[in-house]
Amino acid sequence: MDVKRKKHSLPAGGDSRESPVGPADTGPGMPETVKRDIFKPFFKTKPPAEGTGLGLYICREVVEKHGGTISVESEVGQGSVFTVRIPVTYRDSVLRKT
């Protein structure tokens, strides 16, 4: 995975009703054992006195409540890419203005 070149875009012929966004970094990456649990409540990699382990869990809950998904791609030594996909909806009033 080349994090520097990873871009969030819809594949050719993709679903334009969905908007993918998300951060990427070139940090240390995550092993499979961390990726497996990263969205679980109270899971953390920080020392006991730091953090609550709720950040990514809450992110996932909010995204899912809006009908979306969140995922992570990561390789040790390569960095991580989080992808949030949220359905895009248009209200009739917005469509009438265009």
Q: Tally helices (H) and strands (E) across the chain.
A: 3, 4
Mean pLDDT of the chain: 82
> What are the domain boundaries of the chain?
19-91
Whole-number pLDDT of residue 96: 54
pTM: 0.72
pLDDT digits (tens, 9 = 90+) for 17-49: 777 888 999 999 999 999 999 999 999 999 999
Write the class of the CATH domain 19-91.
Answer: alpha beta
90, pLDDT greater than 70: no
Q: DSSP string covering 6-47, please?
A: ----PPTT--TTEEEE--EE-S----HHHHHHTTSTT--SS-
Whole-number pLDDT of residue 42: 96
